[in-house]
Amino acid sequence: MADELAARLGNINRGLDLKALFQAEQVMKTITYIMLAIFMVAATLLFYIFDRNVEIVNRPSEQQAASKNSETTGSDVVPALQFVTPHDNDFTSLSATPQTPEQLASSDPETIAHSKAIAFFNSPAFKSAETVNAAYLNYEGIVSRDALEMSFSNNDFNQLVNAIKNADKNSASFELEATLEQHLLRTLSSKVFDESYSCAGSVCALTFKAMQPEQNVESVKDFTTSYTFTNISQDDTGVYIYKAIFIQTTDPSNLQIQ
């Protein structure tokens, strides 16, 4: 009887020991999980702090960025240019596009002349019949050398013709242009082509082409009493190109240019 009781007590004690051991294992697992979670949180926090510090160190300030951008672009940075409206007759200072002194110096004379001519044709000088007159003649009746040079320096003489054509014209302009038209029909041969002409105020511009020298070219100017300025050239294909500016006057012998 005593032995049986002792055996039962032994079994109970072993059961209690196993239960205590199992509970201890559960506690250790819980502690391990908690420690692992704390470690992961700490590691994540440390990584975030380190990453932010690296970003702050590597990020340039606004002043540094502006300085770096200035160093990169260097001479490519061109300050904004502004135009000051010149006097109506000061056409030599006009330019087709804003250009720095370095750009002007590097441009060939033909390019500069072309730019001035385009600016001249697009200037207020061709606003009306009165302004066209003022562009080519001053108040003393002296012809502007600059206006003539810019007019003939442009390869496409039609741009001058179109500038005069787009000016606001008075009745005298239309009458002069009609007289020129009738004179051309009577004077020029049928071999002439690509005629283009227009008049505004006392000024007329004319251009045409021909496969051979036009025999009656000298008679063209006789449509009115005028100062006559002409240029005849040949293109690469051998076609003759005739350009002329007529400025109506009462006495062509009084011609003065400056």
State pLDDT tens for residues 151-206. 998 878 999 999 999 999 999 999 999 999 999 998 887 788 999 999 999 999 99
Mean pLDDT, the chain, as a whole number? 74
Count of domains for the chain: 1
Cα 124 to Cα 9, 86, 92, 205: the distances in Å are 123, 10, 14, 18
User: Is residue 173 a part of any domain in this protein?
Assistant: yes
Nearest one of 204, 200, 226, 228 to 126, comparing CA atoms: 200
What is d(CA 181, CA 206) in angstroms, rounded to the nearest whole number?
10
User: Is residue 166 a part of any domain in this protein?
Assistant: yes
Instruction: Report the half-sphere exposure of 83 (CA within 13 A, side-chain side).
Output: 12
Identify the pLDDT of residue 111.
Answer: 77
Domain that holds residue 207: 95-254
pTM flag (> 0.95): no
User: Is residue 87 a part of any domain in this protein?
Assistant: no
Identify the pLDDT of residue 167.
Answer: 95
Task: Return the structure tokens found at 227.
Answer: 């100062």
User: Is residue 2 a part of any domain in this protein?
Assistant: no
Radius of gyration of the chain (CA): 46
User: Is residue 145 a part of any domain in this protein?
Assistant: yes
User: Is residue 54 a part of any domain in this protein?
Assistant: no
User: Is residue 123 a part of any domain in this protein?
Assistant: yes
What is d(CA 131, CA 222) in angstroms, rounded to the nearest whole number?
25
User: Is residue 55 a part of any domain in this protein?
Assistant: no
Higher pLDDT, 172 or 84: 172
